Chain A
Amino acid sequence: MLISVAIVLALLGAWELYVRLGSVDALLLPAPSAVAETLVEDRGMLWSNLTVTAAEIGFGILLALAVGLGLAIALHLSRSARTAVYPLLVASQAVPIVVVAPLLILWFGYDLGPKVAIIALLAFFPVVVVTLDALAATDAELLRLLRSMDATRWQRLRFVELPAAVPAAVSGAKVAVAVAVIGAVFAEYSGSDAGLGHLILQSIPQLETARAWAAVVVLAAFAVLLVSILAAAERRLSYGTRLPHSPKGPS
């Protein structure tokens, strides 16, 4: 924590010096002090745009998790589905979102819907890949035991494979958060009337570069907040990594 604060301070100092010494136009790169000033001055505008973008990202991640987990389970249960669908999933990630996004906006308008769809389209992929791998890596000994107790396919999934895959799914969600933030900016660039991405898009031609950078800072802080919530969830869900208690009683 201390080290990351030191790194950030050092970078900010270097940046400030770089701008102050006049090597770059302040319209291209504002000094951190100017960005900080804008953060305070424009806090009302930044906050109202953040609520728009936060809703897009929140719903987008929820949709990505629902679709991602559902697909991972379906592909895990059916080998033929896996062979058929997995290449399509990879292909879906190869389609540049800038090509698809304007179409979605054209079809569904400037509302929340198309932005949630764009974010989910980008963010579901890491969830599927990581969860699918974890489901396949379930301890064979546990599955053998369940079979010896005549567990059905559904029971093996419910009692062993799914709980075993939970930590991986949370890891996938962490990657999804980072992707979702970028996705939200893309989606708002493609057509929107509010949100931090929209604000960035408007501020640059207005020569309000400091405001664009302030929006970036708010976005980054929001992403860090989401990832730390997930990291806390991950710590709660992890098992067997805490120090074992000294065994008491009969051994």
Chain B
Amino acid sequence: MEPILTIQGLKKQYSAGTWGLNGIELTVQPGEFIAVIGPSGAGKSTLLRCMNRLIEPTEGSVTFLGEDVVHANKRQLRSIRARMGMIFQHYNLVYRSSVLENVLHGRLGYIGSLAGMLGRYPEADKEEAIALLQKVGLENEVYKRADELSGGQKQRVGVCRALAQKPSLILADEPIASLDPKSSKTVMDAIHTNCREQEIACLVNLHQVDYAKAYATRIVGIKAGRVVFDGPVEQLTSDITQYLYEGQEHEMFHKAAI
């Protein structure tokens, strides 16, 4: 099967001598749900942001659906980003806009500057956005202002925004790190169910190993900017997690609850 995403020799240098990523190799097949685990500062967020070039990689290649991401020009990059949804740890909503408007932002990659600025979204997009909100249980919040919602609700709006893009791949950067256990489960379920149904591949950075084991089809362990584990959930032994979080064991149990 043609992979959705191929990463080869990806490196990111922050300042002289500081490498955020140090030669990442990774292939994502259609429909995979991959959890990226590793201690803080291992490079998980940098990795995800290099996929859609919110951070510019220093070296290496990223291929998305056969297109070269690293050398894409402005227009190509927009189109690549439009087909890659992203979910953020801090939700990154526009809090003064309505919930519906925030979901419709997912459509901005498909419409022109002027139409977007004037908020001229196609009616069909609006209907789909409302349907998405209903699906995650926010049907009563459609016209609320985003800052009126609770954390878990905000993140579900973030999930809907990513889904509104009709992406082939979703990048989720610590989507539940700021949430309580109950909201965490709702949000993870929303991401998982929708990705399954719509055959969207998903790369999700997770802090909590138990969540990774519960949802992922495959686990990638990152340490000091390198992939040190890549395999199915069953192969992730406690020895490996031990090694991943060596010296930072406290993080493994941090907020560990499911």
Binding between chains A and B? no
Residues of B within 8 A of A (CB): none
Residues of A within 8 A of B (CB): none
